[in-house]
Amino acid sequence: MPKKAMEVLTETMFYVLMAFMRGEMCGIEIADFIDEKTNGRLLIGPATLYTILGKYEKEKLIELTAVEGRKRTYRILPKGIEAYEEEYSRLRLCLADALEEEEMRKEKPYE
């Protein structure tokens, strides 16, 4: 059965929401945040970024707060904070499971 829209976020989608946890941002600020936070490991192009922002706006996770020429500034809404926190929790559980499996492999390595 297919997942509902926005049920599990891609890595890029997660980092976009993470950026908004710092406050209102425009696209360039979001891209710079992601580049700095991941030490260049994850780069986001304008097409991908604005596709994500459009989805988030449609799903009421963010809202447009200002337009200055081509610059658009957005802020996160309560539903967006909830989506971020749910994904953060899901990722923590995945990591806990992986760490548990790593410990089990140490105790009983593959033969």
CATH of the domain at 65: 1.10.10.10
Among 4, 9, 34, CA closest to 21: 34
pLDDT band at 4; cut points 50, 70, 90:
low
Amino acid at 107: E
Interval 48-76: pLDDT, tens: 999 999 999 999 999 999 999 999 999 99
Domain that holds residue 99: 11-107
How many independent structural domains does the chain possess?
Answer: 1
42 contacts: CB under 8 Å, gap ≥ 6: 11, 12, 15, 34, 35
Does 81 score more than 80 pLDDT?
yes
0.85 exceeded by the pTM?
A: yes
pLDDT score of 2 more than 50: no
pLDDT at 1 over 80: no
Bridge partners, residue 63, by sequence: 75
Total count of residues recorded for the chain: 111
